[in-house]
């Protein structure tokens, strides 16, 4: 499960917060999660969303946050996250 959100008033966008709240209540069968987002001056979006997923027994992959418009380094971090997702799927036997 992956949640993407901009930071709004130091936290996640309300729609992303609702999605996390709903996932936490429904407890889907998922093994890992991560957060992709952006911020302008800081915030606690990652901490807040992670706390909202407390009922899910998932491993949290390294979040990717970009300050403002994504830079080349941010795209590199997304590539690393994609590689980590592929490795997790291979480990679970979902893909070969």
Give how many domains the chain has, as a whole number: 1
DSSP string, 11-79: EE-HHHHHHHHHHHHH----SEEEEEEEESS---HHHHHHHHTTTS--EEPPPEEEESS--HHHHHHHH
In CATH, what number is assigned to the domain containing residue 43?
3.40.50.360
Domain of residue 64 covers: 2-92
Q: Which of 2, 72, 13 is nearest to 39 (CA)?
A: 13
pLDDT, tens only, 26-35: 998 888 899 9
43 — pLDDT class (breaks 50, 70, 90): confident
């Amino acid at each position: 499960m992956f949640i993407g959100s901009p930071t709004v008033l130091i936290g996640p966008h309300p729609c992303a917060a609702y999605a996390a709240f709903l996932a936490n209540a429904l407890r889907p069968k998922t093994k890992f999660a991560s957060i992709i987002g952006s911020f302008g001056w800081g915030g606690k979006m990652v901490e807040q969303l992670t706390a909202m997923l407390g009922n899910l027994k998932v491993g949290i992959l390294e979040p990717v946050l970009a300050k403002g418009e994504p830079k080349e380094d941010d795209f590199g971090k997304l590539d690393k996250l994609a590689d980590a997702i592929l490795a997790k799927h291979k480990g679970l036997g979902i893909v070969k």
